[in-house]
Structure 1
Amino acid sequence: MRNTWNPTRRNRNIGTSKAGHSENNKLVIPSRFLEWKIFWEIIDDYKVHTREINGRIVKFIVEHNHRNHMHCCSVDDVAFLLTVLPVEDWEGINLFIFRQPKRKEEILSSVWGRLGYNVDIGSFKGPAIILESIDLSKPLIWKKSLNPETVIELERMKQDGHKVTLNKREYIIEISQDSVRATQLYRTLLHEIGHWVQWDTIVLKPSSEGFDRNELEENYFRIPSNEKEVFAHRYADIIREKLIENNVIPFGRKDNEENV
């Protein structure tokens, strides 16, 4: 009878990811033990500011910056822009967060900002718009081969004042406080409110009329992400054009002793 075990034969999966090789070396965003929050809900060293906007109390959480990072928009920049937007478009959002991303987050999940549908920070639970602080000492590097959506985004960045150069392999995007402020204030903030408008239209309003909330949410999250992006971009573009036509934007940075 042949011995089925041959010590000279190696399993073809040894040393590969199927056998767990390098699993501990993968760059991942760490989570804290026994904490079920999404990584961007974890805010450590922050101050809370309050503003009254169109008769509503709105809170602003500002996390402390580090490592050459800067919050390129101020609290009052955002507060002022909210005063000129349709109130019903951002109704229900009572928290805006100026967040300091961790190093691994910048590598794996770098964004200008995001919408949190239901964040849990301190005593606050509810929707929030988050704007990330940016390291102004490092240019952004994009691969030379761009898909159509990224080509459009690159043009938007040029319009915002970012300096874009192309070498043989990649785009180098040099950023500044002013160019990042233009992107986050006049595009990102409006874009995230656009996501909220779609969420409100598909989930919140029908839910208030008696439709099943769970089913509505499932329907919303079945929408392809690229379709959601198209909706948010379209909303932001329409609002932005109106604000420019009415000479509302661009406007100078608004600061006081409490500001970022």
Structure 2
Amino acid sequence: MSEKDTHDILAYYDGGAEIGRLERGIGKIELERSKEIISRYLNKSTHVIYDIGGGVGVYSSWLAELGYEAHLFDLSSQAIEFARQQQLNKPIISKLETADARNLDRKDESADIVLLMGPLYHLTEQKERVKALQEAARVLKKGGTMITSAISRFGSLLWGLSVYGECNTIVEEDAFMDMVRQELTDGQHVRPAAYPSFIARSYFHTPDALRADWQAAGLPKPRVLGVEGPIWIAPGFEEKWAIPAHRRRLLDIARQVEEQESVIGMSPHMLAVGTKS
């Protein structure tokens, strides 16, 4: 990762990119489904959870409210400060630290669950992603669960097509399609200057590429699940999501196809889940 890429990534998150993201648009599906999947691995033996690259602490706060000892780590000092300010009236996250996912100040085998919900996006070389995965595995207890998030390689293209119409012709713009072609070719996302609101320098995975990162780190082959699935492209999604019966139906659809290999890539986000032996 070059110094420029690191600077751009920190500027993106220091600028508040994650504040409220999971409360609007398809971020609502990501939050609901991620909580659902994580919840499957919470049990009576779970006490300490490390949320590595956890941004402004959305998942840490939720887990702390459930009674777990949640530790939040993020490279962005501004994200950590925002999370800290949110705790002022109700301090619930046990520890909040500015930290690099590749080098954590924690003892070996000190967490029951480790969430790696952001770092794999922005470590654009596999050797760096492997370091983050191995560090997460180091601090995870034997028998513990590791859950890592990745962005789908097909997300930008599918988003562009989903908004394509009379009011949005982004797929006709060369800068956008050049970006998409590179993503589809090698997973490297380079944000064009024309779209400053797009996510900063990243690596986008296929399900197989996500499994390959785990295996390169010496970890067992994980389960890979689509988070949002294909439901985010439903016409009038916002209106349907607001109606409880429709929301339940959409979530049921996402659940039914979460491990269908031919559909996983349609999900903007994927989660890889594995147990440390």
TM-score relative to the length of structure 1: 0.28
Which has the larger helix fraction?
A: 2
TM-score relative to the length of structure 2: 0.27
Which has the larger strand fraction?
A: 1
